[in-house]
Structure 1
Amino acid sequence: MNFSKEEILARANSVSKNTLMETLNIEMVDVGEDYLIAKMPVNERVHQPDGVLHGGATAALAESVGSFAAHIFIDTEKYFVRGLEITANHLKSVTSGTIYAKATFIHRGRTTQLFDIRVTDEEDKLVSYCKLSTIALPKAK
């Protein structure tokens, strides 16, 4: 990483303005050499009609943290990142609090990346297990 942890998190959170990430209150909160962690509050904005966390909101959190992680570790002057596929296995219901998603590299190729994304609750219990594949494509000159 060429920037400090604080600079990376500030940059990631600043580009979320007027996006789905802002709508869902997704915030990047920690970064390391091969991972990125985001959090999202669980409230009525992300509930299903019966009051539990919507799987689509969980998938949006997972894709957001994985895509941001891919951006952090590539040259964004030359490449842009797009998601190719996401899978989500929802294992535990959540009705309130905060959930955390940690994206860790499984494969860190020049063109494709694969992430293991574990979504946990405030007690570090697994809520969803996700995998995301992304692709880095050259920007038009």
Structure 2
Amino acid sequence: MEEYLQQLSESCRHTLVEWLGMEFTAIGEGWLEVRMPVDHRTCRPDGALHGGANMALAETVSGALSSISVPRELRYQVYGIEINGNHIKRASGRYVTGKAFFLHKGRRTHVVQVEIRDEDNTLITVNRVTNMVVEG
């Protein structure tokens, strides 16, 4: 599983994922975690974590989870087709972690829930992402 984290990190070089400081940190059967800093790249002018940064984190971790769950030899591409989020509380600390897990894993669509928590394990945002899986 550690090889997947390394591959995901390498595939995200020179992208928004790298620019926002996201790191793939943990993986298990049917779930994936990504950590993102709360700093000048991800905050609003008032210092609060930007809701758009949270949405980017959710799209990143859910898309990566879907991508690693389809057989590599079939060369599928994964595209996010819908995302929604509820921002519940202001984040505290230096980073947040998004954990994605499947609610539905079909042949052509995946529905993924992403819970974003701060360093105190406080729930900050809940997202639901629908990904489309297409032959590429």
Check if 1:32 corresponds to 2:28: yes
Partner of 2:11: 15
1:1-141 aligned at under 5 Å gives the runs 5-77=1-73, 78-94=75-91, 96-139=93-136
Paired-residue identity, %? 36
Aligned equivalents of 1:32, 1:96: Cα separation in 2: 25
The one-letter amino acid of 1:121's match is D
Aligned equivalents of 2:104, 2:37: Cα separation in 1: 29
Stretches of structure 2 that go unaligned for 5 or more consecutive residues are: none
Stretches of structure 1 that go unaligned for 5 or more consecutive residues are: none
SS in 2 for 1:65: helix
Aligned equivalents of 1:75, 1:136: Cα separation in 2: 11
The 8 Å contact of residues 47 and 95 in structure 1, kept in 2 or not, is answered as no
Give the TM-score normalised by structure 1.
0.92
Aligned equivalents of 1:19, 1:96: Cα separation in 2: 25
The 8 Å contact of residues 43 and 96 in structure 1, kept in 2 or not, is answered as no
RMSD between superposed Cα atoms in Å: 1.0
SS in 2 for 1:63: helix
Aligned residue-pair number: 135
Aligned equivalents of 2:81, 2:129: Cα separation in 1: 7
Aligned equivalents of 2:97, 2:51: Cα separation in 1: 14
Runs of 4+ in 1 over 2 A off after TM superposition: 75-78
